[in-house]
Structure formats: structure tokens, C-alpha cells
């Protein structure tokens, strides 16, 4: 009873602070338009960057996979949870992102949780050792949790300010003769609250200069960044040069679930032996595996999908700024529309839903105090008509609540 009351008090406190009170339930697939409360609305809050969540080629592959390979694997990978399609998907992702090999996980969260302790908590023949992780201040929760799983006795963590590579270099320079066994630089490829990129080319150079391992989480970049959607290494001209590249199958690549770590063959082989979320958690279901293969095949065959995403993004960014809204500049499909107060973001999100646009606000503690925003996410699934509808709604709601003139 005592504990139950504590939870009730905390939930009430959270609700009063106007955090995320409700989740809206949909009755349609994820797409450019969805139905919510019986009404068609334009979806502008989804990670379905390439519109593959309900693409006929992708859904057909999932259905065929169930017919041919069944529903579930009922096993972890190393017991009896590996079908030939799991191996095929690992090879396909590797070829696409430009690493020697990849290893699948049930999510990117699990992949990021797996990587750091698998490497840093092992002696690997050293009698004594210390490791260090240099981590960007805006890194995703899954990287932070992955680092938390490393033994504090042997792992130092040094946080540098978001994208402040001068500060990072200073830390690396200071540690030149510190005798660390492993030095890892960890960054998101795309910072998802900002829609901004890690400076991957400069990070590759720093990692080489200071003999560090570069770890990049490309969850919001695979299928999105670079001319052909291969991610931040393609965008920054450093394909094959990032040591460890993680990503998700839960956003652009079909949008269901699944994650991976890409890197050298030897590292992947090592992770198959040592990473606990791989060894002790179930294998991805065949439908997800086959649909992910189909999604990557589609992406490699038809470049116009990525081009449409980039064109839609450029159009929306130009027009929304033209209406007088303050956005965080850039070219990523995550477009934060800055509003300042949490109450304004909440009011605007509600008014936009009424006007037929689904979009979510972010406010403290998800972003710093006073930087509440609506986070628009553009998709290749949006037609020009959808985007124009959203822009008109932004204009009328923005004027009504006096954000723009
Ligand atoms: C940067 C980043 N890393 C990791 C994840 C986790 O991805 P998954 O849903 O595959 O666990 C996310 C998802 O929001 C993300 O944005």
C-alpha cells in the first residue's frame, strides 16, 4: 500500500508538470496520413522517414516470411534462433552501411547497451587496465545506459559539450600518456532532439590522431543521411572509416524493431561471444527480418525514395521558416520549431491536431528549460498536398496564438 501510494503521488506529480499525459491510439497503419479519434490527420511526428512502415513491398515480405519461416523463433540466436535469413540480413546491412560485418539485436537500445560492457568489462589478457569513453553531452539514453553498465573501477567517462570538438581534442590530448587500454569516442550520428549531425568526418580524424575507437549511433541517419541513405559516414565522406556503427530497423528501415552493430569481422565475432543482450535475449522474428531485407533492397534499387525525403525536407524547412517560425537550421528531416514555453508547445500541438496535423511537443526535461518545441519529422510518405496542409495549419494556428504575425 505504501509503495502503491508513492507511485500514485509520482504519477500525479508528473501529470501536473504537464509531461506526456496521454498516448494517442491510432486505428490505421503508420503512413503520411493516419486516423485518430475517427479523423484523418497528416502525420508529422513519426520516424517512418521513408514511408516503409506500410510499403506494399515491405508488408508483402513480412507476410511471406510468416508463411515460410513461421511467427517466432522461440530461442536466442546461438541455440536455435538463427535462420539463413538472419545471416542474410546481417550481410545486407553490412554491405549497405559499409562495414565488414554486422550483428543483430532486438533493438538499437539493446545494441548500444551491449557494446560498451562487452568490450570494457573484459580483461582480455590484461592484468590491470583502465579504459575511457569520451561521450557527447547530447548522446541518446541507450548510449548513456550502455556506459552505466561498465565497471566504474576500470572505466572513466568524460562528457564533452554537444559537438564541441575542441573540448574533445583537449581531453584526448591531456590523456595522451594516461596509459588507457581503450579510448572510445561515442556520439550520435544525428541528435534527435535537435535534428543536427555529429561531425563524423572530424571525429574520424580525431580518433585516428589519438588512437581512439569511434562509435557512432546512426539510428536517425540510416536510410536518411547521405545521397543514398547510407548514413552519416556517407554524408560526411567517410564510408568504411567509422570503427563501430550502430543503428535501428525501427525507423527508416521498415519501422518495426531491431538493431545492429556494424564493424570489423573480428569485432562482430567477438560480440557474438560476449554481448549479453545477444546471448540471453530472443532472436528477431522472421517477419521483421524478411521485411528489413526487402526494405534495404528497395532502398538500394530505388534511390528516388531518399531523394523524395530530402526534397520534402528542403521544401518544408524553407516554407516554415518563410512563415516566420524559428527553426533549428539544417537539412535533417527532424525540424524543431522553437516555441520557448512548454505551455505554448502544448497549446499549439492540440490546436494543430484539431486542424488535422499530428505533431508532438517536447519540453523540459526532454529539452532544456525555455527551449520547448514542436518536433516536426518529415517523411517520404508525405505528399506535397499533405505538407501544404500542415503549413497552412501552422500558419493559421501560429497567427491565432501570436507566434507569428
Ligand atoms: C539515437 C537513438 N539511438 C537508439 C535508439 C533506440 O532505437 P530502438 O528503438 O531500435 O531501440 C533511438 C530511438 O529512439 C535513437 O533515437
Mean pLDDT of successive 10-residue stretches along the chain, which has 405 residues: 77 66 80 94 98 98 98 97 98 98 98 98 96 98 98 98 98 97 98 97 98 98 98 98 98 98 98 97 98 98 96 98 98 98 93 95 90 97 98 98 94
Q: Which atom of ligand 1 is nearest to the CA of 140?
A: 1
The verdict on whether 158 is a catalytic residue reads: no
Q: Which atom of ligand 1 is nearest to the CA of 139?
A: 1
**Spatial CA neighbour of 239 closest among 213, 219, 262, 256:** 262
**Spatial CA neighbour of 239 closest among 249, 251, 229, 253:** 229
**What pLDDT does 16 receive?**
66
Choosing from 55, 92, 140, 220, which is the catalytic residue? 220
Is-contact 222 306, C-beta < 8 A?
no
The verdict on whether 106 is a catalytic residue reads: no
Distance 46 CA to ligand 1 centre (A): 13
Q: Which atom of ligand 1 is nearest to the CA of 110?
A: 11
Rounded CA-CA distance 34/41 in Å is: 6
Whether residue 246 is preceded by a cis peptide bond, meaning omega within 30 degrees of 0, is no
Class of domain 56-301: alpha beta
Class of domain 18-49+303-400: alpha beta
**What pLDDT does 365 receive?**
85
Residue with the three cell numbers 524493431: 257
Cα-only R_g, the chain: 22
The verdict on whether 251 is a catalytic residue reads: yes
Check if 107 has its Cβ closer than 6 Å to any atom of ligand 1.
Answer: yes
Query: Checking phi first, is residue 122 left (phi over 0); if not, alpha (psi -120 to 50) or beta?
Result: beta
* Domain locations along the chain: 18-49+303-400, 56-301
**What pLDDT does 20 receive?**
53
**What pLDDT does 11 receive?**
78
Cell of 353: 491536431
**What pLDDT does 18 receive?**
57
Check if 220 has its Cβ closer than 6 Å to any atom of ligand 1.
Answer: yes
Q: φ, ψ for residue 206 (rounded to 5)?
A: -65, -40
**What pLDDT does 25 receive?**
86
Amino acid at each position: 500500500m505504501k509503495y502503491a501510494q508513492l507511485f500514485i503521488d509520482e504519477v500525479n506529480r508528473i501529470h501536473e508538470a504537464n509531461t506526456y499525459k496521454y498516448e494517442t491510439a491510432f486505428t490505421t497503419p503508420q503512413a503520411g496520413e493516419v486516423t485518430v479519434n475517427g479523423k484523418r490527420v497528416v502525420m508529422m511526428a513519426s520516424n517512418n522517414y521513408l514511408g516503409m512502415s506500410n510499403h506494399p513491398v515491405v508488408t508483402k515480405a513480412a507476410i511471406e516470411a510468416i508463411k515460410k519461416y513461421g511467427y517466432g523463433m522461440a530461442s536466442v540466436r546461438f541455440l536455435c534462433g538463427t535462420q539463413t535469413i538472419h545471416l542474410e540480413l546481417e550481410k545486407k546491412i553490412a554491405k549497405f552501411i559499409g562495414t565488414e560485418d554486422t550483428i543483430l539485436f532486438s533493438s538499437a537500445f539493446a545494441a548500444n547497451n551491449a557494446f560498451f560492457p562487452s568490450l570494457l568489462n573484459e580483461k582480455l589478457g590484461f592484468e590491470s587496465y583502465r579504459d575511457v569513453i569520451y561521450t557527447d553531452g547530447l548522446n541518446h539514453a541507450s548510449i548513456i545506459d550502455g556506459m552505466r553498465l561498465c565497471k566504474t573501477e576500470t572505466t572513466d567517462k568524460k562528457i564533452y559539450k554537444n559537438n564541441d570538438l575542441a573540448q574533445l581534442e583537449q581531453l584526448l590530448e591531456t590523456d595522451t600518456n594516461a596509459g588507457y587500454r581503450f579510448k572510445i569516442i561515442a556520439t550520435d550520428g544525428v541528435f534527435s532532439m535537435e535534428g543536427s549531425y555529429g561531425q563524423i568526418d572530424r571525429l574520424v580524424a580525431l580518433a585516428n590522431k589519438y588512437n581512439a575507437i569511434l562509435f557512432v549511433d546512426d539510428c536517425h541517419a540510416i536510410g536518411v543521411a547521405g545521397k543514398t541513405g547510407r548514413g552519416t559516414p556517407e554524408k560526411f565522406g567517410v564510408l568504411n572509416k567509422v570503427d563501430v556503427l550502430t543503428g535501428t530497423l525501427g525507423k527508416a528501415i521498415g519501422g518495426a524493431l531491431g538493431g545492429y552493430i556494424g564493424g570489423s569481422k573480428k569485432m562482430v565475432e567477438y560480440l557474438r561471444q560476449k554481448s549479453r543482450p545477444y546471448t540471453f535475449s530472443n532472436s528477431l522474428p522472421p517477419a521483421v527480418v524478411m521485411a528489413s531485407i526487402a526494405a534495404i533492397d528497395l532502398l538500394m534499387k530505388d534511390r528516388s525514395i531518399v531523394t523524395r525525403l530530402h526534397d520534402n525536407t528542403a521544401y518544408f524547412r524553407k516554407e516554415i521558416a518563410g512563415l516566420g517560425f524559428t527553426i533549428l537550421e539544417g537539412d535533417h528531416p527532424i525540424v524543431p520549431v522553437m516555441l520557448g514555453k512548454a505551455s505554448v508547445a502544448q497549446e499549439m500541438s492540440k490546436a494543430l491536431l484539431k486542424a488535422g496535423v499530428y505533431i508532438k511537443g517536447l519540453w523540459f526535461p526532454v529539452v532544456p528549460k525555455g527551449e520547448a518545441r514542436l518536433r516536426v519529422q518529415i517523411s517520404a510518405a508525405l505528399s506535397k498536398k499533405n505538407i501544404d496542409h500542415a503549413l497552412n495549419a501552422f500558419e493559421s494556428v501560429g497567427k491565432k496564438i501570436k507566434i507569428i504575425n
